[in-house]
Amino acid sequence: MIQRIAKDALLRLASQFPVVGVTGPRQSGKSTLVQEVFPEKRYVTLDDDSIRTIAASNPKDFIDAFPDGVIVDEAQKVPELFNALKLKVDSEKSEAGKFILTGSSQFKLKKNMTDSLAGRAFFLELLPFSIQELKAEGVLPDSPYDLIFRGTYPPLHDSEKNFISEDWFEGYIDTYISRDVEDLINASNAQTFKKFIQICALHSGQMLSMDNIARNVGVTAPTIKSWLSILARSYVIHFLEPDSNNLGRSLVKSPKLYFIDTGLLCHLLRIESKEELLLSEKKGAIVETFAVSELLKHRTNAGRKGNLTYFRDRTGFEVDTIADWKHSFAIEIKSTSESEAKAAKNLRRYLELKKHNDSKGAVFYLGDLTLKMNGVDYVGWRDWGNYQD
């Protein structure tokens, strides 16, 4: 079993809050993680019709049946459970980490926990495997393009299964729409929503243009705004907002859109092999998407917010990613071989503009060597997952 870095963050949060919710995209390994971290706790899933009926008919007694706490999977399927948990936690001043909740419908789980358990619960976001996790287990591919094409969802890295990526992603999208999305978009819009996801794939790594997406999908911009929110809340995509420090410049105001997983992105772009990826005109955007996803995992695995933005002014001067962590890192992401001077050109310009700040510069590239040259870190792809803050 591939060990999850988020285990330490989950234990940390469970030492403070009586209820911890583990969220993340479908098939990211949430149930596996919580059962591994809390093997002494009873595990129940509300996917089981009989258990769901019992929990819904008398949620208080259901909670009382687990005096030592419990892991409840698919907790959002019984909304009545959340108020019963609130009363239980308040009346008995429950110890930290007593109740662990997971669910594949992130919308309902988060809403119920936020409405009923504010101040009593904390969320941990679990994304698919990171480079660092695969590297630690000795299963990281030799070529970054093998991993970029396959993606990092756990089932695709299960040695006991032999999923073909194309088949798995096709089933994944259908399941995601039918179980997580359909009741939010009206079932009659399911095929249009699937087209919308494919159109969004064309925009990964780009500044968001809702009007452009709306024209291509054939629905209104307000509908696109609502649907983008659904994709973001269900961890299919992530937005980088523009950096707010304008350095005396006029900045763009639109966020950039990125998919969380490049395997899913390649599938949606109809890229059918690593060789096709290498020749694709979208290669640069896909590599950038991969790097941003790894930066995001580095933070969520520690139970922290991403705190990632990008810098672009109205003249077109851009730095791919600004990581506002313990230090501020300006990061350029390169999918091609360039001279040292060219690769770091924008970084050096940006750092010069912020010369009175402690910002640092890094170039993420697809080579194997990580080193520092002329004040800039050159980070090989195997180290993207643990670029330290």
What is the tens place of the pLDDT at every residue in 18-49? 999 999 999 999 999 999 999 999 999 998 99
Angle CA(22)–CA(81)–CA(60) in degrees, nearest 5?
A: 130
Whether residues 171 and 312 fall in one domain: yes
Of 125, 141, 164, the residue at which a domain comes to its end is 125
Whether residues 242 and 309 fall in one domain: yes
Whether residues 141 and 92 fall in one domain: no
Whether residues 107 and 216 fall in one domain: no
What is the model's pLDDT at position 292? Answer: 98
Confidence of residue 384 (pLDDT cuts 50, 70, 90): very high
Whether residues 194 and 286 fall in one domain: yes
Whether residues 145 and 49 fall in one domain: no
* Domain-embedded: residue 111: yes
What is the model's pLDDT at position 210? Answer: 95
Q: What is the CA radius of gyration of the chain?
A: 22
DSSP result, 53-108: HHHHH-HHHHHHT-TT-EEEETGGG-THHHHHHHHHHHHHTPPTT-EEEE-S-HHH
What is the sign, positive or negative, of the torsion defined by CA atoms of 261, 267, 270, 271? positive
Whether residues 230 and 368 fall in one domain: yes
What is the model's pLDDT at position 356? Answer: 61
Whether residues 119 and 146 fall in one domain: no
Residue 389 has pLDDT above 60, yes or no: no
Number of Cβ within 10 Å of residue 139's Cβ equals 13
> What's the mean per-residue pLDDT of the chain?
91
Whether residues 94 and 142 fall in one domain: no
Percent of the chain with pLDDT over 90: 71
* Domain-embedded: residue 238: yes
As given in the structure block, the two tokens for residue 295 are: 């930066």
Whether residues 121 and 137 fall in one domain: no
Whether residues 79 and 46 fall in one domain: yes
Of 73, 108, 125, the residue at which a domain comes to its end is 125
Of 104, 125, 146, the residue at which a domain comes to its end is 125
What is the sign, positive or negative, of the torsion defined by CA atoms of 320, 324, 330, 333? negative
Q: How far is CA 194 from CA 120, 266, 271, in A?
A: 37, 15, 17
Instruction: Give the total number of structural domains in the chain.
Output: 2
Contacts of 373 (CB under 8 A, 6+ apart): 340
Across the range 73-94, mean pLDDT stands at 88
Contacts of 355 (CB under 8 A, 6+ apart): none
Whether residues 380 and 266 fall in one domain: yes
Residue 338 has pLDDT above 70, yes or no: no
Contact 336, 303 (CB under 8 A): no
Across the range 78-85, mean pLDDT stands at 91
* Domain-embedded: residue 1: no
* Domain-embedded: residue 104: yes
What is the model's pLDDT at position 47? Answer: 86
Across the range 316-334, mean pLDDT stands at 92
CATH number of domain containing 81: 3.40.50.300
Owning domain of residue 27: 6-125
* Domain-embedded: residue 174: yes
* Domain-embedded: residue 189: yes
